Amino acid sequence: MKFFVDTADIDAIRDLAQLGIVDGVTTNPSLIMKSGRDIKEVTKEICDLVDGPVSSETVALDAEGMIAEGKELARIADNIAIKVPLTWEGLKACKALTSEGFMVNVTLCFSANQALLAAKAGATFISPFIGRLDDINLDGMDLIAEIRQIYDNYSYDTEILAASIRTANHMKQAALIGADVATAPPNVIHAMAAHPLTDKGLESFLKDWEKTGQKIL
């Protein structure tokens, strides 16, 4: 499973990139707002840090506007994936942009039927939002499983980009189901490394090591 980082925080991306685990980045208007940065400037910096796709989101509501904004965003760098919402107009923009060779991430997906339409419209990525479904007492992971089955039934090339990930457990479940990509905030990726038994084991090893009086260096 590929790891994308869901943030526009340059320091956090740089930190994770050093570990070689960043296959791409996703941003959205809320994350740009949170960064306090100019969208083009911060997106360019992200694209310079990461080789993989960097999703940058349009804000127009009509297809024509999304296409124009998407092309403007794609001028930032070669690895931009243009993010459009899963509306009828978004699907039209997706079709037009992918036909011209741009990568398109269709976002705000909350149903298998929406994901089916995005694949038919040639989306590079479909972004089903797990956490926001969980928030309204639905099971976001069920949606990932449904889309996986549908895409496999017909061998669609569209990659399932599990989004709105809130916990390390979401990452594990998305990987078990077979999402192609998971995009998570930096704190969730860090949480994947944590285990209380690792901390406990390390503490007891270090206590015993101290008793030996030895040094490695």
Binding interface with ligand E4P (CB under 6 A)? 6, 26, 28, 107, 127, 129, 131-132, 163-164, 183
Q: How do strand 103-109 and strand 181-184 relate by DSSP bridges?
A: unpaired
Min separation Cβ 131 and ligand E4P, Å: 5
Rounded CA-CA distance 142/95 in Å is 27
By residue count, the chain amounts to 217
Min separation Cβ 146 and ligand E4P, Å: 19
Quick check: 141 and 125 in contact, CB under 8 A? no
Q: ∠161-162-164 over CA atoms, to 5°?
A: 125
Residue nearest to ligand E4P (CB): 164
Q: Between 85 and 122, name the residue whose CB sits nearer to ligand E4P.
A: 85
Taking Cα atoms as reference points, which of 164, 155, 160, 159 lies closest to residue 135? 164
Q: Between 124 and 164, name the residue whose CB sits nearer to ligand E4P.
A: 164
Min separation Cβ 20 and ligand E4P, Å: 22
Rounded CA-CA distance 96/30 in Å is 26
Min separation Cβ 159 and ligand E4P, Å: 13
Taking Cα atoms as reference points, which of 16, 48, 55, 15 lies closest to residue 32? 55
Q: Between 65 and 167, name the residue whose CB sits nearer to ligand E4P.
A: 167
Q: Is 95 a catalytic residue?
A: no
Q: Between 107 and 158, name the residue whose CB sits nearer to ligand E4P.
A: 107
Q: Which of 34, 83, 95, 120 is catalytic?
A: 83
The amino acid sitting at 150 is I
Q: What are phi and psi of 59, to 5 degrees?
A: -125, -5
Q: Residue 213 is encoded by which pair of tokens?
A: 């009086």
Q: Residue 163 is encoded by which pair of tokens?
A: 């989004």
Q: Between 96 and 109, name the residue whose CB sits nearer to ligand E4P.
A: 109
Min separation Cβ 167 and ligand E4P, Å: 11
The SS3 assignment for 22 reads coil
Query: Which residues are part of the catalytic machinery?
Result: 83
